[in-house]
Amino acid sequence: MRTGIRILDDKIGEIPDNVAVLLSTSPGIDPASFGINIMDTALKNNSKCVYIVNNKPASAVRREASTMGLDLSRYESNNLLYIIDAFSGYMGIHSDEKHVVENPFETKNILDEVKKVQGDIIFIDSASSYIDMKEEVEELLRMIETLKKKMTVVALFSAWEYEKEIVKSIKNNFDAVLNIKPVEEVTIVRQFLFPEKIGWKKIKPFAVPVKVLKPGGVKVYFPKILVTGPYNAGKSSIVKSLSNKVVSVDRMGTTVALDHGYMDYKGFAADIYGTPGQEDFDPILQYLADEAVAVILVVDSAKPETFIRAKDMLSKTKAYGLPIVVAANKQDMGNALSAEDVKRKLGLPGDVPVCPTVATEKKGVELLLDELTERLMR
């Protein structure tokens, strides 16, 4: 199986059968969103899933899925997904669910209910609630050992302040441990996924920026990608061609504030900020460019006289040091320079890719995005 989270999947490869994966999140981050999203990916790949929930009503799981834009009901009605309610029994309340563990205090009851439905992958939401209920961890670990013989286990874990020894023994018992933690940046707080342990593959440490989009689900997410370049080069057109949903503050045919779009491409999501090009607007460039994680420079390939301005804008937006890709735009113009000539004339560092584009026809935009995401993955 795969998680459906780009970069992570690329680096850890296929998750083997009959392993146990711990998905641990810092307080304030709900592991269920991640669990549900991974499950949705598995279901789309024809795996049969079991989702056992002990810390909220089963309906809350469906609701969370639906706010992420995922529809679980068709899998449930086709018996490809079973949601087992181990919450009502724990709370001593009535349940209308089809699959219920009346007394979840007994691990055997849980295992019996799972046996009735069977599946390729089981999600436990959550291991931490189970530990809290049992007031010890051994029982959980034994349950996971048992489940692992039959299927792949994904256990969700809210990393509250458990004793170090407890956390250590839990992690030792899992084949893989994925941590999701908040990271405070200049102004905003981003979430990153850090693989702590991958039992089936040797990996170098890496971090994946993630966000739960509602709707959209879990995406590798970049909060700001800047699109800049001289007046009339085609910046707004590039932002439009990259985005699924876009607005431009254009007046009299040119951008006077910014273009703002949402990109969703091969598992990557980003907010795109397009700047004005005229020098009169340079004072607001600094606001728009601040905290960008990558820059797309757009130039009109038929107007090499604007390239000095293009490079000036890279300095003004403090782009040097960030991943940069160049769109050598308006390739359809008779007098357009080739991408190679644009590259030579611009005189940017050799590793900056220059991609030929016709923004108005969405031509070359995929290649541009591939170059960009490739650089964001490094």
Partner 1 sequence: METKSEKLLSELKKLANVGNIEGSAVVARNGLMIASDLPRDVDERRLGAMSATMMGAVETAAITLNKGTIKRVTAEIEKAILVAMGAGKKAILVVSASPNANLGMLMVEMEERVKNIREIIGV
Ligand X SMILES: Nc1nc2c(ncn2[C@@H]2O[C@H](COP(=O)(O)OP(=O)(O)O)[C@@H](O)[C@H]2O)c(=O)[nH]1
Please provide residue 288's backbone torsions phi and psi, each rounded to the nearest 5 degrees: -65, -35
Residues paired with residue 23 on neighbouring β-strands, in sequence order:
156, 178
Q: Does 236 bind ligand X (CB under 6 A)?
A: yes
* Strands annotated E in 185-274: 189-198, 208-213, 217-228, 245-251, 254-265, 268-274
Q: Does 252 bind partner 1 (CB under 8 A)?
A: no
Residue 237 binding result from partner 1, Mg ion, ligand X, none, given CB thresholds of 5 to 8 Å by partner type: ligand X
Residue 215 binding result from ligand X, Mg ion, partner 1, none, given CB thresholds of 5 to 8 Å by partner type: none
Q: Does 249 bind partner 1 (CB under 8 A)?
A: yes
Minimum distance between the CB of residue 99 and Mg ion, rounded to whole angstroms? Answer: 54
Q: How far apart are CA 73 and CA 183, in angstroms?
A: 35
Part in contact with Mg ion (CB under 5 A); list of ranges 22-30, 111-119, 211-219, 230-238: 230-238
Q: Does 255 bind Mg ion (CB under 5 A)?
A: yes
Q: How far apart are CA 224 and CA 289, in angstroms?
A: 8
Part in contact with ligand X (CB under 6 A); list of ranges 61-69, 206-214, 282-290, 330-338: 330-338
Q: What residues numbered 174-203 form the site for partner 1, per CB under 8 A?
A: 182, 184, 186-189
Nearer to partner 1 (CB atom), residue 291 or residue 361: 291
Residue pair 325/309 in contact by the 8 Å Cβ criterion: no
Minimum distance between the CB of residue 52 and partner 1, rounded to whole angstroms? Answer: 29
Report DSSP letters for 281-319, one per residue.
Answer: GHHHHHHHHTT-SEEEEEEETT-GGGHHHHHHHHHHTT-
Minimum distance between the CB of residue 345 and Mg ion, rounded to whole angstroms? Answer: 22
Residue selected from 359, 365, 369, 376 as contacting ligand X according to rule CB under 6 A: 359
What number of chain residues touch Mg ion (CB under 5 A)?
3
Q: Does 263 bind partner 1 (CB under 8 A)?
A: no
Q: Does 306 bind ligand X (CB under 6 A)?
A: no
Residue pair 301/335 in contact by the 8 Å Cβ criterion: no
Nearer to partner 1 (CB atom), residue 169 or residue 286: 286
Minimum distance between the CB of residue 359 and ligand X, rounded to whole angstroms? Answer: 4
Q: Does 275 bind Mg ion (CB under 5 A)?
A: no
Residues paired with residue 306 on neighbouring β-strands, in sequence order:
none
Residue selected from 329, 339, 346, 353 as contacting ligand X according to rule CB under 6 A: 329
Count of beta carbons in the 10 Å neighbourhood of residue 196: 13
Q: How wide is the angle at C-alpha 176 spanned by C-alphas 67 and 53, nearest 5°?
A: 40
Q: What is the DSSP letter of 190?
A: E
Residue 347 binding result from ligand X, Mg ion, partner 1, none, given CB thresholds of 5 to 8 Å by partner type: none
Q: Does 223 bind partner 1 (CB under 8 A)?
A: yes
The b/e string for 3-34 (b: 16+ C-beta within 10 A; e otherwise) is bbbbbbbeebeebeeebbbbbbbeeebbbbbb
Residue selected from 26, 95, 232, 306 as contacting ligand X according to rule CB under 6 A: 232
Residues paired with residue 272 on neighbouring β-strands, in sequence order:
225, 261
Which residues contact ligand X (rule: CB under 6 A)? 229, 231-237, 254-255, 277, 329-330, 332-333, 358-360
